[in-house]
């Protein structure tokens, strides 16, 4: 069993959106939609400020509420991994998964089915990194198997302070943010 995780160093991220564009071209995401996006969070008052940029996407949760909510089995977990995917042909576009996702990671394609980040599953199969990770000019994104204690991502989570988004949702998200 592989537990794929993405680790994003917010201290290095500059919010440039390269990951967004790379994802859009790699996955041919239609105009007006995106599978990843940038969040700017500012705390404090001038000049005592702190800022964090985050590249956000589907968290490929270990407890995927989206998959649980899907009435047709279109949303599913890829065998042997934690990657959640959608079978377009099984999806009726009922949006139950969209309502269930605490990360607002899903959207409806013009064709009527739901789509979202796949961790570039098609690239992983070829031994490549997700498009967003491979393009990042600051190298702030890391990807690997968190079940492998020697992987770069496991080592980073051991060494550095990190957080996940909406931990209270109990979804066990697998996108980690180094802070």
Q: Does 109 bind another protein (CB under 8 A)?
A: no
Query: What is the DSSP secondary structure assignment for residue 12, as one 8-state letter?
Result: T
User: What is the sign of the dihedral through the CA atoms of 117, 122, 128 and 131?
Assistant: negative
Nearest Cα residue to 117 out of 127, 134, 131, 137: 131
* Residue number, 53 or 119, with CB nearest to another protein: 53
- Taken in order 62, 63, 65, 70, is the CA torsion positive or negative? positive
* 12 is a contact residue toward another protein (CB under 8 A): yes
Residue 132 near residue 22, CB atoms below 8 Å: yes
# of chain residues touching another protein (CB under 8 A) = 35
CB of 165 to another protein, least distance (A): 19
User: Scanning residues 19 to 78, which ones bind another protein (CB under 8 A)?
Assistant: 20-22, 24-26, 28, 31-32, 34, 42, 44-47, 49-53
Does residue 159 contact residue 167 with C-beta atoms inside 8 Å? no
We find the least distance from the C-beta atom of residue 21 to another protein, in angstroms, to be 4
Return the H-helix or E-strand segment holding 131: helix 131-135
Q: Which is nearer to another protein, 136 or 153 (CB)?
A: 136
As measured in angstroms, the least distance from the Cβ of 177 to another protein is 15
User: What is the number of helices (H) and of strands (E) in the chain?
Assistant: 6, 10
Residues 127-146 as x/- pattern, contact with another protein by CB under 8 A? ----x--xxxxxxx------
Binding site for another protein (CB under 8 A): 11-12, 14-18, 20-22, 24-26, 28, 31-32, 34, 42, 44-47, 49-53, 131, 134-140
């Amino acid at each position: 069993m592989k537990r794929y995780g993405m680790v994003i160093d917010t201290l290095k991220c500059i919010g440039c959106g390269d990951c967004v564009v790379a994802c859009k071209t790699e996955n041919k995401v239609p105009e007006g939609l995106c599978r990843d996006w940038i969040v700017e969070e500012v705390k404090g008052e001038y000049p005592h400020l702190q800022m964090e940029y985050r590249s956000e996407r589907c968290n490929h949760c270990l407890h995927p509420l989206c998959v649980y909510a899907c009435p047709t089995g279109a949303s599913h977990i890829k065998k042997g991994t934690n990657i959640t995917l959608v079978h377009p042909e099984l999806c009726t576009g009922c949006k139950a998964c969209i309502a269930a996702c605490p990360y607002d990671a899903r959207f409806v394609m013009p064709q009527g089915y739901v789509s979202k980040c796949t961790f570039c599953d098609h690239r992983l199969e070829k031994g490549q990194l997700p498009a967003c990770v491979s393009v990042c000019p600051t190298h702030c994104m890391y990807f690997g198997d968190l079940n492998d204690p020697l992987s770069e991502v496991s080592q980073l989570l051991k060494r550095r302070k990190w957080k996940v988004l909406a931990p209270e949702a109990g979804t066990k998200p697998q996108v980690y943010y180094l802070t």
